[in-house]
Amino acid sequence: MDAVIPKSELNPRRGRLQLLLILAATIGPILLATAMYKWQFWVPESRSYHGELLGSGQTRSELGVAGQDEQRWQLLVTAPEDCAADCQQLVYLARQIQIGLGRESSRASHGLASAAPLNEAYQAQLQREYPQLGRFALERQRYDQLLKGNPAVQLWIIDPHGNLVLRYDAKADGKQVLTDLRLLLKLSNIG
């Protein structure tokens, strides 16, 4: 025997209202998040990183770095001009940060991309003291396009897919960079 639902319980308006509420609850947050991203409102001011976050999808090749992409996280120093004292300090800092990762150090590498040839004394020092340092050519024109002609030395954190993640200037604090890289490694399953 089939149960008969009284006509008084079948309210088409109530059914439509329920459908609209379900749709609003599922699509509403998506629309709100898209609007927040597009028009930059209600974006939190606090952050958990210390460098400049690069979220525009720029890659290592757009930076003007020639050579093979790493399959690990990379600390890359870029020197658009001569690798002077500030550049040499960042190269040292990148190596120390990789060492500071401890057991996670195999998930990262350090490198130097320079547009100008290095002087012979520093090149010999790099071969002697930094045997694992990746050496890359820097295409100055592409670098200038990305950084709008800023000739300053930079330290970059690059993910294993070649995406630029964070950027630091020559006055970067090594502890802060190490904290940022540890957080990225903790949150990442790649590299």
Query: Which residues face 136 on adjacent strands?
Result: 113
Same domain for 142 and 180, yes or no, is: yes
b/e for 119-157, b at 16 or more Cβ within 10 A?
eeeeeeebeeebeebbebebbeeebeeebeeeeebbbbb
Between residues 51 and 150, which one has the greater pLDDT? 51
Which tens digit of pLDDT belongs to each residue from 79-125? 998 899 999 999 999 999 999 999 999 999 999 999 999 999 999 99
Q: Is residue 118 part of a domain?
A: yes
What is the residue whose two structure tokens read 């319980």?
A: 9
Q: How many CB atoms lie within 10 A of CB 21?
A: 11
Determine if the pTM surpasses 0.85.
no
Distance between CA atoms of 93 and 172, rounded to whole angstroms?
Answer: 9
Same domain for 89 and 183, yes or no, is: yes
Tell me the two tokens of residue 174: 């090594």
Through-space distance between the first and last CA atoms of the chain, rounded to whole angstroms? 64
Distance between CA atoms of 73 and 83, rounded to whole angstroms?
Answer: 23
Same domain for 76 and 24, yes or no, is: no
Which tens digit of pLDDT belongs to each residue from 113-172? 999 999 999 999 999 999 999 999 999 999 988 888 777 899 999 999 999 999 999 999
Which tens digit of pLDDT belongs to each residue from 53-72? 887 788 998 999 977 767 89
Tell me 9's DSSP state.
Answer: G
pLDDT for the residue numbered 9: 60
What's the mean pLDDT in 168-180? 94
- Total number of domains in the chain: 2
Q: Which domain holds residue 146?
A: 52-187
Same domain for 29 and 101, yes or no, is: no
Same domain for 74 and 138, yes or no, is: yes
Q: Is residue 2 part of a domain?
A: no
**Coil, strand or helix: which one is 133?**
coil
Strand positions, DSSP E, the chain: 52-53, 73-79, 108-114, 134-137, 154-158, 164-168
CATH number at residue 64: 3.40.30.10
Same domain for 80 and 115, yes or no, is: yes
